[in-house]
Amino acid sequence: MSRTGKKPVTLDGASVSVEGQIVTAKGAKGELSVELVDVVSAKVTDAGVVIEPVGESAFARASWGTFRSLVQNIVTGVTKGFEKKLAISGVGYRAALQGNDLKLLLGFSHDVVYKAPQGIKLAVPSPTEITVSGIDKQLVGQVAANIRAYRPPEPYKGKGVRYVDEYVYRKDGKKK
C-alpha cells in the first residue's frame, strides 16, 4: 500500500476538476492538467482530491503514489508556483537579462544566450545569481538543469553554475 497515495491532495484555494482520466487545476497563477493512466482513478471530495488504484496489479500500486504526487505538484504550481536558484562562481563569470533571454558569460570565446520557454520567468537579482520560476515543476527543473549544463561546477576550484543548495565535492590539486 502506498503511504503517499493514501493522503488526499489538499486544494489550497485551487479549483480542481476531474473529467475522465484528466485532472485539471485552476488557480491564481494559471491552469495545469495531468492525464492519469488507466490503472488509477481520481475523485474530488471535501478533503481534497483522492487518488485510488483501480485494480490490485503491481503497476497500479506503483502508479498510485506517483500520480498523487503529480496532482499535488499541479495544485501547488497553480497556487504558489515553483522556483529554483542558481549561483555562478568564477572570475569573469556572470549573467544578465536581455528582454526574456538570459545572456551568460561563462569563460567561452562567445556569449551563451538561453531563450526561456513559454511559462518560465527568469530573474537575475545580481550578476552571479539566477532565479528560474514558473508553475510547472518539471519545466522549472529542466530549465535550471539546462542552464547548469552549460558550465557545471568543476571539483578543483568550484567554478561554474551550480544550484544554491548544491554541495560541490572539492579535490586537492597536484602534490609535489
Domain contains 174: no
Express as a percent the part of the chain with pLDDT over 70. 99
Candidates 116, 130, 16, 147; CA nearest to 73 is 16
Residue 2 pLDDT grade (very low, low, confident, very high; cuts 50, 70, 90): low
The domain containing residue 65 runs over which residues? 3-79
Residue 148: CATH number of its domain:
3.90.930.12
Final residue belonging to a domain, choices 79, 102, 130: 79
* Helix ranges restricted to H, the chain: 3-6, 58-79, 137-149
Sheet holding 31-35, edge to edge: 15-19, 22-26, 31-35
C-alpha to C-alpha distances, 54 to 27, 38, 153, nearest whole angstrom: 28, 8, 45
Q: Mark whether 60 and 87 lie in a shared domain.
A: no
- pLDDT digits 0-9 by tens, 86-132: 999 999 999 999 988 999 999 999 999 999 999 999 999 999 999 99
Q: Mark whether 111 and 52 lie in a shared domain.
A: no
Domain contains 41: yes
pTM: 0.89
The SS3 call for residue 148 is helix
Final residue belonging to a domain, choices 31, 57, 79: 79
Residue 74's pLDDT is what? 95
Q: What average pLDDT does the segment 40-58 reach?
A: 91
Domain contains 169: no
Number of domains the chain is built from: 2
Q: Mark whether 75 and 29 lie in a shared domain.
A: yes
Residue 3's pLDDT is what? 79
* Helix ranges restricted to H, 29-110: 58-79
